[in-house]
Structure formats: structure tokens, C-alpha cells
Homo-oligomer: A and B are copies of this chain.
Amino acid sequence: MIAEKMKKLVNNSSAIRAMFEEGKKMAEKYGAENVYDFSLGNPNVPAPAEVKEAILKELEEEDSLMLHGYMSNSGYEDVREAVAQSLNQRFGTAFDQKNIVMTVGAAGGLNVILKTLLNPGDEVMVIAPYFGEYNSYVANYDGKVVVVSPNTDTFQPNLTELEEKITEKTKAVIVNSPNNPTGVVYSEEIIQKMADILEKKQSRFQSDIYLISDEPYRELAYDGVEVPYLTKYYRNTIVAYSFSKSLSLPGERIGYLVIPDEAADGSEIQAAANVATRILGYVNAPSLMQKAVARCLDARADVPYYNRNRETLYNGLRELGFSCIKPQGAFYLFVKSPVEDEKIFCEAAKKYHILLVPGSSFACPGYVRIAYCVSYETIVNAMPGFQKLAEEF
């Protein structure tokens, strides 16, 4: 009796669940320390000390009714202003509180903005490889996903195909940089070119095309690489941010949307996002966590820990002969499968108790994702297994 739309989603979900269960069984059979689970994007470094301090301070100083009560559906004004000023300082933008909507993580933010923008049949472009949940988020509002196929040389967006596939029905383009699953950071040059293409298409179709920047991994960038702030390159940009990775708070569901005044119908979108937050049942982002993150806007989880994992895993796999772009951000490595059907490779890896995610889940078959948000020891101890895999293929 469940909804037709849900049936397929439940089946897909069962497949992921089965993989998870298999990992659990392996851990029981061989011991958790002998299973190398690289399948989950769940941070393994704790929240920085500032988070606990901030929560304690709020509990101590703030009135219960204020701390746990309702506020505007878009969030506390002082929290939104603090977020805006922090962005202005870091990126030279000129936001204030009305440009910020506090959200239930980036996933909540993406749903709010898609609910706000999409009419049934509107097209939303995504750039492979991409986070598979976008399909569901767009489908929630009866939008149509249009996939730009992957550029496997650099994993920068394939701009030629992007340009070709934009139509008068294109309402939004979602970009995710640093990228899940490749770890690639889209370069300033690419962003500028993409902006030019979108401007040109807007003129041609007399439409507004929104660039939605999904950036939960913004703070996880290595080697001093700059992650361009997209509102500065393209007027119709909307940012969906999350503190899940920067502060290791994925379970707390806290993030925000940035809706610039300069975006077409900016103030209308701001008002509608406020309403969408309410009617989608979020009502508002969790109140104590809003106050807590506002005190931690400059704090970061242990990024050097991830960086050591990145170097060790990347160098180790390269030495074994695997082929992979060196990731500049996030905590994923996207490795070319030695066989065309990467699912065969994932199955083979299980023999060595190594769990990987097939690239097909990100619309990019022939590759596998390795999430290195694991302990350093896991990486070191998995290396002999990777060596055997390399020998096998």
C-alpha cells in the first residue's frame, strides 16, 4: 500500500542496506579491525572542542525558551547575520541575514531550494560523477534530471556537453566541488567558463538558470587549493552549505542556504524558501545547533588527519599501479577499475575484506569510490589487500 514512487526507492535502498549488512557480517566473522570499510562518507574525526564549548555556553547563558523555542522559519536573525558576516570576511561578498536561510543540513537546503524553484517537468542538470541522492531530491518536486556525462581525463565538468544539453526548460544546474565522489575541485577557469555559458543560454532562452552549489566539503581542501566562491562568478548562484563535514556534525542536521539579492527574483526566493522550510515539515533548523555553530564559524575538524590519509592512500595505490586523479578536496578517491565492469572489481575486493562503492552509483561506471574518512590504521592495514587485488587484475 505504499506509494508507487516509493517502491523503486525502497528496492534501491535495500541493495545499499544489503551491502551494509554484508560489511557487518564480515566484521563479526573476521573482526572489525580486519575489515576495511571504505564505503561510507561518515566523518571519523571528532567534532572540534569548540563545538562542545559552544553548546555548554549556550546551555549556561541562554534562556531555555529562546534556546529551544521557535524562531523565524529561516532561523535566528543573529545566527544568520553571523554566518553572513563570516562569509563576507572570507570571500569578500556583501551578504546580510536576509540572504541566509538556516537549514536541516545541505540535504535539507537542497530540498528547500528545489521545492522553491521547480515546476513539474523543469530540468535540473547534474554533472557526472555525482551524488546519487540528487535524483531523489529533484524527483520529489517532479523535476527531470539531465546528466552531463563524465570527463574522465580530469573529472572537471564536460562544458561542451553541458552547453549542448541546456534547454529552455533548464531551471538549475547543481555543482558539487570539492566533489563527491572524485575529490576534484572545480577550477576558477572552469567556473568562469561555465558562468559564461549559463549567461549566454539565459540570454538566448530569456530564462533564469540557477547554479546551485552544493558544498558540504568546502572546508576539506588540501595543498592550499582555493575553492572558488561561486556567487562571485555568476549572479544566479545559490549555495547549499553544511557543517556536517567541517565540524563533524552530520547527525545534527545543520547547514544553510545563501540566496543573494542579486539573483533573479532574489527576494521572492528568500521569502519562498522560508515558506518551503515550514511546509516541508522542517519548520526550522535545530535551534540549539544553530546557536552552537554560530559560535564555531572559524572552527574546523581535523583536516590534516584526512590529508595524511589522502597522501598515504593515493601514493600507496599509485605504487601498486592503480590509476587515479589525486583528489584536492573532500575525503574520497575515485579509482579506475582494472576491469570495465567495476562491480566485478568490488566483488573481488571483498575477498580481501575491502569494501568499495561502484562508480555506477555516481553515474560513472568503470570506477570505484574509496572513502578515506577512516582511521589511518585502516588504510595502512588495507594495503596488503590492495596489493593482492593489483596482482589479481
Chain A residues at the B interface, C-beta cutoff of 8 Å: 1-6, 9-10, 13-14, 40, 42-44, 46-47, 51-52, 55-56, 59, 63-65, 67-71, 104-105, 107-112, 115-119, 133, 136-137, 140-141, 208, 248-253, 264-265, 268-269, 271-272, 274-276, 278-289
- Which of B5, B64, B110 contacts A46 (CB under 8 A)? B64
B46 and A269 contact, CB distance less than 8 A? no
A288 and B252 contact, CB distance less than 8 A? yes
B250 and A68 contact, CB distance less than 8 A? yes
Known: A63-B46, A104-B282. A68 touches B4 (CB 8 A): no
Chain B residues near A40: list those with CB within 8 A.
70
A117 and B2 contact, CB distance less than 8 A? yes
- Which of B9, B10, B116 contacts A6 (CB under 8 A)? B116
**Subset of 16 A-B contacts with CB under 8 Å:** A2-B268, A2-B269, A3-B115, A3-B141, A6-B272, A10-B272, A13-B275, A47-B64, A51-B68, A55-B288, A68-B249, A68-B250, A68-B252, A108-B283, A137-B279, A251-B286
A282 and B10 contact, CB distance less than 8 A? no
Copies in the complex: 2
Known: A268-B1, A275-B10. A284 touches B55 (CB 8 A): no
B13 and A253 contact, CB distance less than 8 A? no
B268 and A119 contact, CB distance less than 8 A? no
B281 and A137 contact, CB distance less than 8 A? yes
- Which of B249, B268, B283 contacts A253 (CB under 8 A)? B283
A275 and B9 contact, CB distance less than 8 A? yes
Expressed in whole angstroms, the minimum distance between the Cβ of A240 and any Cβ of chain B is 10
B283 and A286 contact, CB distance less than 8 A? no
A286 and B253 contact, CB distance less than 8 A? yes
Chain B residues near A9: list those with CB within 8 A.
272, 275, 279
A117 and B279 contact, CB distance less than 8 A? no
Chain B residues near A118: list those with CB within 8 A.
3
Expressed in whole angstroms, the minimum distance between the Cβ of A360 and any Cβ of chain B is 19
CA A268 to CA B105, docked complex, whole Å: 27
Expressed in whole angstroms, the minimum distance between the Cβ of A269 and any Cβ of chain B is 6
CA A46 to CA B115, docked complex, whole Å: 34
B287 and A251 contact, CB distance less than 8 A? yes
A43 and B55 contact, CB distance less than 8 A? no
Nearest opposing residue in chain B for A69, CB measure: B251
A10 and B46 contact, CB distance less than 8 A? no
Known: A47-B64, A64-B47, A268-B1. A281 touches B6 (CB 8 A): no
Nearest opposing residue in chain B for A68, CB measure: B249
B59 and A47 contact, CB distance less than 8 A? no
